[in-house]
């Protein structure tokens, strides 16, 4: 199963990809998570990415494509993948198409998460993430049992630097200009399926399962 999860910041891509990847036994390839890990370790790639990330800008394509090529050459990616946060512009989409083709595969579907802008703002400004295992919470919609502590691993919850209101607004603008055109790109290839990304997390997960299963029949 080779899937792309596409949608604006805060649409719920990571929340759904994490659980469905586990369920389907394929890796979640999340470029944002990979960049945060690289920045935390202060690797050369992480230092290069940080100046863009902190401003809510897209990190240059060559950096992202190096990361993706390396990740797809790992053995678990042979079983398939869920791309979460990649591709984010036309050049990245074309590069992914070439990479998948060179590996002798095709994409099964691109799942678009349709969520309104006021809802995205509420979600991003209330999001908290576990420093240890990356699990995602929301202060109102998906709170942890104990404030500030991860239910899964007991790790500390923190607010991402790019989830502050001003940066969030800029990320939404970058999405509209650079990423939203991918909807037409993938619609034209007959790969786009849309799920309503608002409502209960479990209901959305079920909707994704059924559109993906329908594509594979």
Place of tokens 């990361």: 67
Q: Does the protein bind ligand AP5 through residue 134 (CB under 6 A)?
A: no
CB nearer ligand AP5, residue 101 or residue 196: 196
CA distance 196 to 161: 27
- 177 has catalytic annotation: no
Q: Does the protein bind ligand AP5 through residue 52 (CB under 6 A)?
A: yes
> Of the ranges 11-19, 20-28, 69-77, 96-104, which one interacts with ligand AP5 (CB under 6 A)?
11-19
* Cα 23–Cα 123–Cα 200 angle in degrees, nearest 5: 50
Q: Does the protein bind ligand AP5 through residue 15 (CB under 6 A)?
A: yes
- 88 has catalytic annotation: yes
- Each residue 59-78 as x (binds ligand AP5 by CB under 6 A) or -, in order, gives x----x--------------
Task: Please give the residue ranges that form the binding site for ligand AP5 (CB under 6 A).
Answer: 7, 9-15, 31-32, 35, 52-53, 56-59, 64, 85-86, 88, 92, 123-124, 127, 136-138, 141-142, 162, 171, 201, 204
């Amino acid at each position: 199963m080779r899937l792309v999860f596409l949608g604006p910041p805060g649409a719920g891509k990571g929340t759904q990809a994490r659980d469905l990847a586990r369920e389907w036994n394929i890796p979640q390839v999340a470029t944002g998570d990979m960049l945060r890990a690289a920045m935390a370790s202060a690797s050369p790639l992480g230092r290069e990415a940080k100046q863009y990330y902190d401003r809510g800008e897209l990190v240059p394509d060559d950096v992202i494509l190096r990361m993706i090529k390396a990740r797809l050459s790992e053995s678990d990616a042979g079983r398939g993948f869920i791309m979460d946060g990649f591709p984010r512009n036309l050049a990245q989409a074309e590069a992914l198409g070439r990479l998948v083709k060179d590996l002798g595969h095709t994409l099964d579907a691109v799942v678009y998460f349709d969520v309104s802008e006021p809802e995205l703002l509420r979600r991003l400004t209330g999001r908290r993430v576990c420093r240890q295992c990356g699990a995602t919470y929301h202060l109102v919609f998906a709170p942890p049992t104990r404030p500030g502590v991860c239910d899964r691993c007991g790790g500390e919850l923190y607010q991402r630097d790019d989830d502050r209101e001003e940066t969030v607004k800029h990320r939404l603008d970058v999405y509209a200009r650079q990423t939203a055109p991918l909807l037409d790109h993938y619609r034209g290839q007959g790969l786009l399926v849309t799920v309503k990304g608002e409502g209960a997390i479990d209901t959305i997960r079920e909707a994704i399962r059924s559109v993906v299963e329908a594509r594979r029949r």
